[in-house]
Amino acid sequence: MRGVKSLPNVWRPGGGRSYAGPLLIDTHVWIWYLDGVGERMSDEGVALVRRSVQEEGVVVSDISVWEVGMKTAKGKLSLFPTANAWIERASRRPGFSFLPLDREILLASTQLPGAVHGDPADRMLIASSALSGVPLATVDPLIIAYSEARGGLSVCDLRR
């Protein structure tokens, strides 16, 4: 990916176009962006995701589809009219593509070095980003701290 090798482990958007390429977006970023509820994201973060959708595209991992389904089934997330309909609409949006989970990602998520996030979905996102070379855009402080401590992946910190 162009520009990824020159990016630090953790970087923040702003101050011009520091990165031009696709982004792998965390599940919460996907939901917030499509539903227009990104209050935990910085204005520069929202602008970067918007620009990526319009120009280079954003990537959503299939684990995010699973995570949306699980959160709605547990009553932690409410999507209109249903999770299935929301995901179907979301999958047809221009600028979004989906990254399938494969055996390489699944195994890599179990072999991440060091103290890593305990959430299996987040482990799969970290492994997907590291293997694909596509920066992971998130507000998750545990993912951000992991990248700062370990490296091996590029994380875009979208927090306010």
pLDDT in tens, 6-49: 688 999 998 554 688 899 999 999 999 998 877 789 999 999 99
Q: How far apart are CA 75 and CA 17, in angstroms?
A: 39
CATH, domain range 18-157 = 3.40.50.1010
- Listed by start position, the domains of the chain span 18-157
Q: Yes or no: say if 63 and 125 are a contact pair by the CB < 8 Å rule.
A: yes
> What pLDDT is attached to residue 76?
95
From the list 6, 3, 8, 53, the residue with the least C-alpha distance to 154 is 8
Query: pLDDT band at residue 151, thresholds of 50, 70 and 90?
Result: confident
CA of residue 91 relative to chain centroid, distance: 15
Q: Across the chain, what does the average pLDDT equal? A: 91
Whether 2 shows a pLDDT value over 50: the answer reads: no
**What H or E segment, with its residue span, contains residue 156?**
strand 155-157
pLDDT in tens, 44-69: 999 999 999 999 999 999 999 999 99
> What pLDDT is attached to residue 105?
98
From the list 109, 21, 19, the residue with the least C-alpha distance to 63 is 109
> What pLDDT is attached to residue 5?
57
> What pLDDT is attached to residue 18?
67
Q: What is the pTM of this model?
A: 0.92
